[in-house]
Amino acid sequence: MTFVDDTNYNGLQYITADNIHSSDVIAIFSTRNGGVSGQTSETQHLCSMNLAHNFSPGEDDYENIIENYKIIMSSQGFDMKSLVTLQQKHTSNIIVVDDNIVKKYRNSPLGFCQISEAADAHITNIKGLLLSVRTADCVPVLLYDSKNQAIAAIHAGWRGALTGIIQKTIKCMIKEYNTNPKDIRAAIGPSIGICCFEVGFEVQESFVNEYGEYIKKHFTAQPESKPFCDIKSMSKAFLIESGVLEGNIEMSDLCTKCNPDLFFSYRYSGGKCGLMSSFIGLK
């Protein structure tokens, strides 16, 4: 992963997934820097690249959020018409973004494809679309099947991980695009680290019930304290179990909660924050 200070766009900072990002494919993770939101003391927590376009309605000006999308997408040579967003609800629902979906949902005044069905992952093989998922601690996962020119963007928090959204998205790519998991390059973006991700015993228990005792290796616990979950290593393990080669996976070691100047973090802010977005698109 490379940290980019984009000198063409004042203050814009993002991270590229270098095993995917190339002349053919865009694969980037936004930071909180380089946007226009949060210029007053009341809205400082949204400063400045808030991409929460259908989250906490009324908290940020819609115009600011759209301007933020325009800034980061134009830095990659894409415009609003290329954007695809999801109605994220911590589900394991996956949208196959085909011509029908684009036709059905590309109807906002700005012309981007705002999918209103609850879903937390999407896949496509259509060039010129920029799939996006919004996060502020949860794990963003980007996938690229270089052989069949297909891509995926996944929002995987612990609820998504529990319902197997990563594994299901890869199965969906196999079905739709005849993807061989060995051809997939995967990038796990900045998200909350094991340093900060304390969870309830009941969360650990529900993972054990779903996956078996082995899943406990992704949790640490002192006997008297609650467990901490390594949601990144768990996401990586799910990719490998699904057939992705370990050497084709890149993972950010940055913790969103430990880096409040760089990222929005739900946990750091007590839920009062903007959202970042991860983008993947075939040029």
Q: What is the binding site for Zn ion (CB under 5 A)?
A: 193, 195-196, 255, 257-258
CA distances from 153 to 29, 40, 97, 203, 278 (A): 11, 33, 11, 25, 8
CB of 259 to Zn ion, least distance (A): 8
CB of 257 to Zn ion, least distance (A): 5
CB of 54 to Zn ion, least distance (A): 27
| CB-CB contact of 1 with 17 (8 Å) | yes
Would you say 185 or 257 has its CB closer to Zn ion?
257
Would you say 129 or 234 has its CB closer to Zn ion?
234
180 phi and psi angles, rounded to 5 deg = -95, 120
Residue number of the CB closest to Zn ion reads: 255
Would you say 140 or 281 has its CB closer to Zn ion?
140
Would you say 224 or 253 has its CB closer to Zn ion?
253
Would you say 45 or 257 has its CB closer to Zn ion?
257
| CB-CB contact of 183 with 152 (8 Å) | no
CB of 51 to Zn ion, least distance (A): 22
Would you say 96 or 258 has its CB closer to Zn ion?
258
CB of 263 to Zn ion, least distance (A): 10
CA atoms within 13 A on the CB side of 114: 11
CB of 198 to Zn ion, least distance (A): 10
Would you say 15 or 280 has its CB closer to Zn ion?
15
CB of 229 to Zn ion, least distance (A): 12
CB of 101 to Zn ion, least distance (A): 36
Would you say 231 or 255 has its CB closer to Zn ion?
255
